[in-house]
Structure 1
Amino acid sequence: MADKPLYIAFIWHMHQPYYKDPSSGEFSLPWVRLHGIKDYLDMVTILEEFPDLHQTFNIAPSLIEQLNEYARTGIDTKDKFLILSKKPAEELTSEEQEFTLSNFFMANWEHMIRSYPRYYDLLKKRGAFLSDSQLGDIKRRFNTQDYLDLQVLFNLAWFDISFKEKDPFLKELVKKGSYFTEEEKKLLLNKQMDILKNIIPTYKRFQDSGQIEVSISPYFHPILPLLCDTDVAKISYRDTRLPNFHFNFPEDAKWHIENAVRVYKKHFSKKPKGMWPSEGSVSEEILPLVMEEEIEWLATDEEVLFKSLSKPRSNKLLFKPYKLNRGEKTLNLLFRDRALSDLVGFVYSHWQTNQAIDDFLKRLHIIKNELSQMEGAFLVPIILDGENAWEYYPNDGRDFLYNLYKRFSKEDSLKLTTISEFLENYPPEGEIKKLFPGSWIDANFNIWIGHEEKNKAWDYLYNARDFLVKFQQRHPDFKNISDAWKQIYIAEGSDWNWWFGDDHSSGNDEEFDRLFRENLKAVYTLLEKDPPEYLNFPIKSRVIKAQIEPSSLISPHLDGMISDYFEWLQAGFLDIEKLSSAMHRPQLMLKRLYYGFDLKNLYLRFDLNRELVKEAEVNIILDIDSVFINRFKLSLTKTGKKIICKRFSLEREEHFKELSTKAKAVFQDILEFSVDFEELNAKNAEFLKLHILIEKDSRILEEIPDFGYLKIVLPGKDYESFYWYV
C-alpha cells in the first residue's frame, strides 16, 4: 500500500474574451493572436519530450472560434494591432504613430522587453510613464526606423522562446536585434499565422495519441449559475446586492453548454468528457443542463467542496473525486487544490527555478506520505490559467515547466494523469447530496455581481435580452434574429464583469467597457432599432479631479466676458491641455474649464479656442448626472456668438427626452453657463458627475474626460462657514 503513487492532474485552462467589435468587425485587442504564439501551442508540444506525462487542457469554445478566424483569414485578419503592424512604418499617420507608441509596449517589461536591448532603448526613448499630452512631442523623437523596429519587436517579443530557438528565421531576427526591414516584418507576421493555424490540430493529435485530454467550457465563458438565477449569489454571500432585474434564464445556460459540445465534436471528432465551468462556477441548477449533454465530470474549487460537505478542510476529503446522483444520471466532480494551483499561477514566478520546483515537489510528497496508508487512490487536481502566468516567469516559463516535467519523469511515486483516465480506473465512492453554489474565488460570485457597475451591466444585459425576446415574438422571421441572439450570448461572458468594479484592472478597462456596450448596441441595430442612449456612457467609473477645487461660493454675472477678474477666482479649475486623458489632438477646442456654485446654482465656464470655434458650427454637450442624467446641448453658430441651449433628460426612458429649461448660456470671449440645482434634481445630492462632449456634424471631436467623469462636490448648508473657518 505504501508504494502506491499519488496521482496529479494538471488542468490548464485556455481562454480569452471575445474581442471582435461588432461595429467594425475588427478584433480590437490582439491577445488571442499574441497568446497564440506565446502559450497555446508550446504548452502542449513541450510534452513530446515527456510521453509518459499525461495532462488535461481546457479550451473555451469562444477561443476556438477566434483562433479559427485567424487560421482562415491569416495575415488579412481584421485585427487592429495586426493592421498597424503590417502597415509600412513610413506610411503611419500621426494618430497611428501615437497609437503605436501607446500600445506596442504592452508586454512584460522585465522578461519580454528587457530581453531585447533595442526594444528597451525604444521604451526609454518613449518614457516609462506616458501621458497623452506628451505624445505630440514624443512621437517627433521617433524616426521611421524607430517605428519599424517597434512594430517588429512588439510582435517578435510575444513568440515563445521555443520558436525563437528552433526556427532559423526567428533565431536570426533575434540575433539581428534592430534595423529590421519591411520584408522581415512581413515574414515575421506570416510566421504568427503558421502557428495559429496549427494550434487546434495539434491538440487533437495529442488527444488522439492518449497523452492529453481536452475538456471544454461553456461557449462564451458565462457564469452559468448566474444565468440560471442571479438570486443564487445571495446563497453564496448573503450581503450581495442584486441588480434591479432578476436574471433567470437557464435556457441561455443550456445554449452555451450545447454549443460548446457542438464545437468540440466538430474539432475533436468526439464528445467531450469533462468541463471546467467558467471560473469554476457551479450550482445545483446547472447540473441537469450539464448531465443532459452527457458530460462526465466537472471541476471547481476546494472551498465549494467543504461548504457542500459542511466539514473543515482535509486532504483526505479533498483529493478524491465525488459523484452527484441526480435522478437517473450521475456526474463526477473534483476540486482544485487552491494552494498548489496558486503557487504555480502567482508565486513561483518570483522564485529561483530549482527552488520553486523543489518546493512544489516537496509539498506533493508531504501529501503522498500523509495519504499513503489510507485506502484507495488519491488525485491532486491542480487547475489554473494556462496562458497568463508565463510572461512573469523567465523565458516564458520554459525553464520552470521543462525542469518540473523532467523531475516528474523520474518520480515513480508521483504520476501525472488525465481526469478521465483516473475516473475510469478509480470511480468515485463519495457522494455530494447538495452542491454549494460558488466559484474558484472565495466560493461566491462577488467578482461578477453585487458592485454598482457589475449590477448595471446585468441590468443593461437584461434590457437588451428582454427587447430581443419581445421583438422576436412580434417578428419571428426577422432576418437578423439569430445574429442578435449571438450578441446577447457574447455579452453574457464572464470577462466583462471581471473588469467592472474595484476588484481588477487590465490596462484595457476602457476597451472592455466599450466592447461590452457595443455588443449590446448591436442587438438593437441588428433589429434595425436605435440603441438606448445609456449604452453610450461608460459603465466603469473613473473619477477625474480638478487641479484646483472650489474654495468658496461664487455667483458670477453671465455675460461671456472676463468682466471681473475675481468672479471666477475661487472656482474649481481643470486645465484640459494638462489632463492625461485629453484626446490626441494637436489643438484642443476646449482649453480650460472652470466650475463653481452658490447655494442655488451650478456655474460652468469654458475657455474655448476661438479660432477653431469660428471655423465650424459645434455643439457642446454637457451630461450632468445626479439622480438621473440631464443633458444640455449648447449649439454655437458659425459667428460664435449666438447660443441655442436645449435640455434633455434620461431618466427611465432609453432615449433622451427634450424638456424645458431655465439654464442660461452666453458666449463672447468665454462661454458661461448656469443652471439651478432644482432643475438638476440635485437639491439634496452630495455631488454631480460632469462629462463633456464637443461634436460637429454628429461626430465627436473631443470628450472630457475621455473615460469617466469629473466629480463636482456640492455645497451643503455649512459650506461657506466651513471654508471661512479653514
Structure 2
Amino acid sequence: LTDKHLMEKYEKYLDKMLLLTEKEIKRTSASQIFNKLARFYNEKFLKIRDFYYNFLQRDVLNGYRYFEESKNIEIITCNATHGFLPLLCVNPSSVERQIELAVKSHQKHFGKKPKGIWLAECAYYDGLDKILAKHGIEYFFMDSHGLIYGKPTPRYGVFAPVYTEEKVAAFARDPESSKQVWSAKEGYPGDPNYRDFYRDIGFDLDFEYIKDFISPDGVRVYTGIKYYKVTGEVDLAQKKPYDPDKAYEMTQIHAGHFHISREKQMEHLSKYMDRLPLIVSPYDAELFGHWWFEGPDFLYHVFKMIQTYQQFKPITPSEYLEIYPENQVIRPSPSSWGDKGYFEVWLNPENQWVYKYLHQMEEDFLALKEKYGYNDIVKQMERELLLAQSSDWTFLITTQTAKHYATNRIKEHISNFYKLKEMLQTNIIDFEFLNRVKEKNSIFSDIL
C-alpha cells in the first residue's frame, strides 16, 4: 500500500473514473433514473479523491495510523506474501521467513511490532505456534473447527480464546455472525435492493463508447459503474434499476437485525459462561464495498448502534486478553477456512505440481545464500521465491477463475529464480534482466 507505482496507478484510476462518470452524466441526461445514478457515482468519486489527497495525504496507511492512534482499532500483520504455511512447513525456514518479514514490515510502517497475525486462509498446523511465539506474536485467528476439534475440547467453544502450548492465544470465528453477513444467498448482501455486482457498463455499453475505460487490449472488464440492483433470482437482462436511497435504508435495517442478533446471542451465552462471551466475526475486506457495495454503510450503522444502545461493546483481542489473562491451554487442530475446512483447495491434482518447485527453491536459496552471501542477486531470488509462495496462485488454479494468469505468474517467478541462480553460478551477469526484475518484483525492497 506504500508502493509508489501502485499509488500512481490508483491516482490515474481516480481521474479516469471521474472522466467516465462525467461522460455518463451527459449520456444519461434523457433518463431521470440513470442520470441520478451517474451523478451519484460522480459525487462518490469526488469525495473519495478529496479523502485520498487531503486526509490520507496520498498514503493509505495514514488512515490505519489515525484509527489506531485514536485507539479505535488494533492493527495486526499477516503472512509476508500470503503463503499457505501448512504446505510450506516442509521447509521450516519458509515459514520463518513469512512470519519474520511480516513482523519487520509492520514495525517499519507502524513503528512497533504487531501483537497479532492474520494467518493466510486461517491456515494452521501443529507446531506453528512455536514460530509465532519466537517472533513475538501473541495471538492469531482460526476457523471454528480448528478450535472445536482441538485437544482437549475448549471449555467455552469458540466464544473465548485459548492458549496453545507456547502460550499464543487462538481466537476462533463465530459461524452464526459470519454467515449472516458473508453469505450472498442467506446473508444481507443478497437482499434484492442492494447493488448488483455483475451488471456493469463495461459490458453493457457500445464498445466505441467504453473502449477507453476497459482493458487496453479491448477485453471488456468491470468498470465499477453499475446501474442495477440484485432484484432477485433473475437473469442479468431482467435486473431492475438500482436505488441508492432504498439500499441505504436497508443497511440500517440489516444493521439493526445484526445488532439485536448479537445481543440475544450474548444473552444466551452468558447463562452458561462465567465470563463475558466473545464473538469473533472476521470477513474478507473485499466484501465491504467491492462485492457488497453497501457494506461500509452497514458497518457504520452497526457501530453507531453499539454506541447508542451499549448492550455490548467492540473490543480488540489484546483488550480481551487483558481482562481475561488466564485461558485454557489446548492443541488446536490443523485447519483452514477454505472449502471443506482443510488444505484441499491449495493441494489437489490441479495444483500439486507447484510444491516440488517451492520446496526445491527454498533449499537452493539457503545453499546459495550461504555460498555467495546476501548480495543483490540472492536478495532478488528471495523476492521471487516469496512471490511464488503466495497462496493466491494455487487458489486461482483450483477455482478456475484465473487459472492461466496464476499459472503464468508462478512459472514467471520460478523462471526468474533459476535464471538468477544461473547468473550466480556462471558469474555471467545479465544486468538488464536483473534491473528489470528488481524494478518489477520489488516487494520488501525496503527491508530486504
Relative to the length of structure 2, the TM-score reads: 0.68
Q: Is the 8 A contact 2:145 2:333 kept in 1?
A: no
In structure 1, the gaps of 5 or more residues are 1-66, 88-103, 105-112, 123-152, 171-190, 229-247, 531-726
Corresponding position: 1:295 with 2:193: no
- Identify the match of residue 274 of structure 1 among 110, 116, 128: 116
Q: Tell me the residue number matched to 1:331.
A: 168
Once the two structures are superposed, what CA deviation does each residue of 1:181-218 show, in whole Å capped at 9, x if it has no partner?
xxxxxxxxxx6798583321221232122221001112
Per the alignment, residue 281 of structure 2 pairs with 382
Tell me if 1:365 matches 2:207: no
Residues 369 and 471 of structure 1: CA distance in aligned 2, closer, same or farther (over 3 Å): closer
Q: Given the superposition, is the C-alpha separation of residues 411 and 194 from structure 1 closer, same or farther in structure 2, using an over 3 Å criterion?
A: closer
Distance 1:402 1:73, change over 3 A: closer
Provide, for residues 133-159 of structure 1, a one-character-per-residue CA deviation record: whole Å limited to 9, x for no partner.
Answer: xxxxxxxxxxxxxxxxxxxx9xx96x9
2:419 aligned with 1:525: yes
- Equivalence for 2:324: 426
Alignment of 1:3-14 (within 5 A): none
Local SS of the residue matching 1:417: coil
Aligned-partner Cα distance in 1 for 2:375–2:140: 38
Q: Distance in 2 between matches of 1:405 and 1:292?
A: 35
Gap change, CA 1:397 and 1:308, over 3 Å in 2: same
In the superposition, relative to structure 1, how do residues 160 and 368 fare at CA in structure 2: closer, same or farther (>3 Å)?
farther
Aligned to 1:480: 377
For 1:217, give the aligned amino acid: C
Opposite residue 343 of structure 1, the aligned amino acid is Q
Which residue of structure 1 aligns with residue 290 of structure 2? 391
CA distance in 1, matches of 2:285, 2:92: 29
What amino acid is the match of 1:306? Answer: I
Contact residue 204 and residue 267 of structure 1 kept, 8 A: no
> For 2:27 and 2:176, how far apart are their aligned partners in 1?
39
Post-superposition shift, 1:385? 0.9
Report deviation, 1:263. 1.2
**Counterpart Cα distance in 2 of 1:225 and 1:514:** 23
- Structure 1 or 2: more strand by fraction: 1
In 2, Cα distance between equivalents of 1:376 and 1:85: 48
Of residues 500, 507, 519, the one that matches 2:397 is 500
Secondary structure at 1:283 match in 2 = coil
Instruction: Note the alpha carbon deviations across 1:371-401, whole angstroms, 9 max, x for none.
Output: 223311211011111224422334x423322
Partners of 2:14 and 2:46 lie apart in 1 by: 19
Q: 1:205 to 1:371 in 2, by over 3 A?
A: same
Question: Match for 1:221 among 60, 63, 82?
Answer: 82
* Alignment pair present for 1:341 and 2:178: yes
In the alignment, the residues of structure 1 paired with residue 82 and residue 124 of structure 2 have an alpha-carbon distance, to the nearest angstrom, of: 13
Deviation at 1:325, TM superposition (A): 2.7
Deviation at 1:474, TM superposition (A): 5.5
Residues 69 and 196 of structure 1: CA distance in aligned 2, closer, same or farther (over 3 Å): farther
State the partner residue of 1:663.
Answer: none
User: What letter corresponds to residue 170 of structure 2 in structure 1?
Assistant: L
Give how far 1:484 is off: 0.3
CA distance in 1, matches of 2:411, 2:43: 34
- Long gaps (5+) in structure 2: 29-37, 192-249, 425-448
> TM-score with structure 1 length normalisation?
0.44
Identify the residue that residue 219 of structure 2 maps to in structure 1: none
1:260 to 102, 110, 116: 102
Question: Quick one: distance in 1 between partners of 2:57 and 2:343?
Answer: 34
Residue 387 of structure 1: SS of its match in structure 2?
A: helix
2:162 to 318, 322, 333: 322
Answer 1 or 2: higher relative contact order, Cα 8 Å, separation at least 6.
2
Amino acid at match of 1:515: R
Q: After TM superposition, list the pairs within 5 Å mapping 1:592-607 onto structure 2.
A: none
Work out whether residues 332 and 428 of structure 1, in 8 Å CA contact, stay in contact via their aligned partners in 2: no
DSSP-derived class of the 1:415 partner:
coil
Cα distance in 1, alignment partners of residues 92 and 316 from structure 2: 30
Distance 1:273 1:456, change over 3 A: same
1:95-110 matches, cutoff 5 A: none
> Contact 1:221–1:493 (CA<8 Å) still a contact in 2?
yes
**Do the aligned partners of residues 117 and 339 (structure 1) sit closer, same or farther apart at CA in structure 2, a change above 3 Å counting?**
farther
Bigger mean CA offset, 404-413 vs 283-292? 404-413
Check the 8 A contact 2:91/2:362 in 1, yes or no. no
Please give the per-residue CA displacement for 1:259-282, whole angstroms capped at 9, x wherever unaligned.
111111112111111111111111
Q: Deviations over 1:242-273 (max 9, x none)?
A: xxxxxx11111111111111111112111111
Q: Which residue of 2 aligns with 1:445?
A: 343
In structure 2, do the counterparts of structure 1 residues 404 and 480 end up closer, same or farther at CA, with 3 Å as the change threshold? same
Deviation at 1:305, TM superposition (A): 0.9
Number of aligned residue pairs: 349
Letter of the structure 2 residue corresponding to residue 390 of structure 1? G
Letter of the structure 1 residue corresponding to residue 3 of structure 2: E
Q: Percent identity, please.
A: 23
Structural RMSD (CA): 3.5
Distance in 1 of aligned mates of 2:353 and 2:260: 46
